[in-house]
């Protein structure tokens, strides 16, 4: 934790804090413009997110896919390769888990769960492997390929659940329910919080360790910052990028797995409301810091959960939360610019005081 509080980080944390505050302020202005009280609104949001065991549980349930996709983005971006295809990897991973859950119904539960997790991670990883390979072999821009592969995956799984794997109840955009023994147990009554949060915790620790404490993480960081420097220092930069991308894909696949075996117990055609994109935003906001990803995911999870209560309490649409998220991003994106404006302004002030004085 000490290293997080270095000077550069402190400066960043300050701007992050100001950005969040400013966007909440703008949110408040929007509420006031609609003649609603922001105090009541935000009050409802906070109670909605943290006020009871149920709301806390819901907040944390929403955190699970965000942490996984956020870490996935962090690990790839830090290595200098951009995985924008998290959503597609998530869908394929989710479908793979569902397939395991409806096919291998005779094996014991723990084995089935392990198999589902493995299958999801593998499928997600493979799906990320190809664009990475194209990138390092033929300089095909991975941003474009991964974005396009998102559509391929969502449409392909959509086809699968509506035709070959349609549930017996008809074409409702979902597979059959997975075997009961494969389902992760719920932790709090009525909420979808389940034991996947422990898996997530474990995975987060592993990824944190990998990124911050190992030669692998070091290599990734160096290649991402200056790939020529990395190659000069003996790092196999291309391999590094491919491996990072595969890990990233596997993490997104896992996010999908947990949605299936922890939340819905089946694959659904629209199983993710864009978790991978939210995860990407989170990673961008915290500059690919793994601990930052976890904290920011909880914050985003709380916003999502609380927004429903806010809507119920004062009738402000829960979409306001999306507006707030977007404004945070805008502020963070403009961070360097704002910082420069601030610094220039201070210099001007400083200088006005100095003119006329002799050589100091």
By three-state DSSP, how is residue 166 classified?
coil
Nearest Cα to 92, choosing from 254, 243, 203? 254
- Shortest separation between residue 246's beta carbon and another protein, angstroms: 16
d(CA 102, CA 123): 17
Interface pick for another protein out of 229, 295, 312, 315 (rule CB under 8 A): 229
276 with 89: CB under 8 angstroms? yes
Tell me which stretch binds another protein (CB under 8 A): 63-71, 134-142, 191-199, 211-219.
211-219
Interface pick for another protein out of 36, 62, 135, 221 (rule CB under 8 A): 221
Residue 336 interacts with another protein (CB under 8 A)? Answer: no
Could you tell me the CA-to-CA distances from 355 to 120, 251, 341, 358 in Å, in that order? 66, 57, 21, 8
- Shortest separation between residue 80's beta carbon and another protein, angstroms: 11
Smaller CB separation from another protein, 5 or 33: 5
Interface pick for another protein out of 228, 273, 337, 353 (rule CB under 8 A): 228
219 with 235: CB under 8 angstroms? yes
Tell me which stretch binds another protein (CB under 8 A): 116-124, 132-140, 212-220, 310-318.
212-220
Interface pick for another protein out of 137, 171, 239, 343 (rule CB under 8 A): 343
73 with 245: CB under 8 angstroms? no
The dihedral through the CA atoms of 13, 17, 23, 26 has a sign that is: negative
Residue matched to tokens 């997080």: 4
Q: Which helix (H) or strand (E) holds 278?
A: helix 275-285
Residue 222 interacts with another protein (CB under 8 A)? Answer: yes
Residue 334 interacts with another protein (CB under 8 A)? Answer: no
Tell me which stretch binds another protein (CB under 8 A): 39-47, 80-88, 213-221, 301-309.
213-221
Count of CB atoms situated within 10 Å of the CB of 292: 21
Per rule CB under 8 A, count of chain residues that contact another protein: 28
- The residues binding another protein (CB under 8 A) are 6, 8, 213-216, 218-219, 221-222, 225-226, 228-234, 236, 340, 343-344, 347, 351, 355, 358-359
């Amino acid at each position: 934790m000490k290293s997080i509080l270095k000077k550069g980080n402190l400066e960043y944390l300050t701007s992050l804090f100001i950005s969040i505050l400013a966007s909440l302020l703008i949110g408040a202005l929007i509420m006031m413009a609609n003649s609603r009280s922001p105090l009541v609104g935000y009050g409802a949001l906070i109670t909605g997110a943290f006020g009871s065991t149920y709301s806390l549980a819901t907040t944390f349930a929403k955190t699970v896919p965000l942490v996984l996709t956020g870490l996935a983005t962090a690990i790839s971006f830090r290595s200098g390769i951009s995985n924008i295809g998290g959503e597609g990897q998530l869908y394929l991973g989710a479908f793979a888990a569902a397939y395991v859950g409806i096919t291998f119904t005779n094996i014991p539960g723990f084995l089935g769960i392990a198999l589902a997790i493995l299958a999801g991670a593998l499928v997600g990883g493979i799906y990320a492997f190809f664009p990475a390979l194209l990138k390092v072999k033929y300089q095909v821009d991975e941003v474009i390929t991964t974005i396009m592969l998102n559509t391929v995956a969502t449409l392909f799984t959509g086809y699968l659940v509506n035709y070959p794997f349609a549930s017996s109840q008809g074409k409702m955009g979902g597979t059959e329910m997975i075997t009961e023994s494969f389902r992760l147990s719920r932790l709090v009554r009525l909420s979808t919080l389940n034991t996947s949060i422990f898996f997530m915790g474990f995975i987060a620790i592993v990824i944190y360790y990998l990124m911050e404490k190992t030669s692998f993480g070091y290599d990734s960081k160096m290649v991402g910052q200056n790939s020529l420097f990395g190659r000069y220092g003996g790092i196999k930069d291309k391999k590094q990028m491919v491996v990072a991308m595969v890990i990233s894909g596997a993490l997104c696949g896992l996010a999908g797995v947990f949605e299936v075996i922890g939340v819905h117990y089946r694959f659904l055609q629209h199983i993710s409301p864009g978790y991978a994109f939210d995860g990407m935003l989170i990673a961008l906001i915290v500059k690919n810091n793994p601990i930052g990803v976890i904290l920011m995911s909880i914050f985003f999870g709380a916003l999502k959960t609380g927004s429903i209560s806010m809507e119920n309490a004062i009738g402000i649409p829960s979409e306001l939360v999306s507006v707030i998220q977007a404004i945070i991003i805008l502020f963070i994106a403009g961070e360097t610019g704002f910082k420069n404006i601030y610094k220039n302004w201070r210099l001007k002030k400083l200088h006005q005081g100095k003119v006329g004085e002799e050589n100091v």
